[in-house]
Amino acid sequence: MDWGMKNRLSRIIKPTTGHTLMLAVDHGYFMGPTTGLERPWEAVKDLVPHADTLMLTKGVLRNCIPPETDIPIVLRVSGGTSIIGKELLHEGITSSMEDAVRLNVAGVAYSITVGMPWERDTILDLAQIVDMAGEYGIPVVAVTAVGKELGKDAKYLSLASRIAAEHGAHIVKTYYCEDFEKVVDTCPVPIVIAGGKKLPEKDALTMAYNALQTGAVGVDMGRNIFQSENPPAMIQAVKAIVHNKATPEEAYQIFQEKKK
């Protein structure tokens, strides 16, 4: 792994704690103007100071985020489906690595859908993205997207996460589940968890805490932050868990205090 790849990885997973708080705002690439992301810059401008990376699409990056914004970017490079389409998550490659370089990204993110009829397409695309990104020393975050029909249990998430790692992903983004340590234990690269659907803040903080406790290196959280009743308070609470060893109770206290 050359200097550039290591440097980019260290901009995602912070060497000081070995953890990362990735703020995910890429949802529009298949959900459209989802609640909380109607105006992307409005949604993130007060969150950026507390996040380690911003995960988004090239369209939002170019059109909504001021280029002087000082935060490592993880670029969503898969897409091509929508929540009203027949084959949600049967995604393909949506960016060249030359464009990722032009955008000065720290990493790229690609979804695979293990277990869906088109799993082969997405897994082979991931392997291709790993090679293409590797040419430029750009790490790949593999997203184990979960189709409605698929469970989010340790058995499934261990399978999907390991397949992503076997095909060259540098970081795997999956979901927290019971026996999560089994998912971490059999995945040879760092794992971060998505937050998933909006939960009560305390529950989301507990989930993040449990994930860290069972071996995740961090979160790639979106809705549980930008759909929170107070997103800046919530991201600071999540950050306390990710980087300052806070308990859910301590983090929730921070949320309550920052809300005022």
Q: Which residues are catalytic?
A: 173
Closest CB 245 distance from ligand 5RP, rounded Å? 22
Closest CB 25 distance from ligand 5RP, rounded Å? 8
In angstroms, the CA 53 to CA 62 distance is 16
87: Cβ–Cβ under 8 A, 6 or more apart, which residues? Answer: 81, 118
Minimum CB distance to ligand 5RP smaller for 194 or for 246: 194
Beta-sheet pairing, 20-24 with 53-56: parallel
Minimum CB distance to ligand 5RP smaller for 72 or for 195: 195
Closest CB 89 distance from ligand 5RP, rounded Å? 8
The contact set with ligand 5RP (CB under 6 A) reads: 24, 26-27, 55, 143, 194-196, 220-224
Minimum CB distance to ligand 5RP smaller for 101 or for 199: 199
Minimum CB distance to ligand 5RP smaller for 176 or for 252: 176
Minimum CB distance to ligand 5RP smaller for 75 or for 184: 75
Closest CB 56 distance from ligand 5RP, rounded Å? 9
In angstroms, the CA 21 to CA 239 distance is 7
Closest CB 3 distance from ligand 5RP, rounded Å? 28
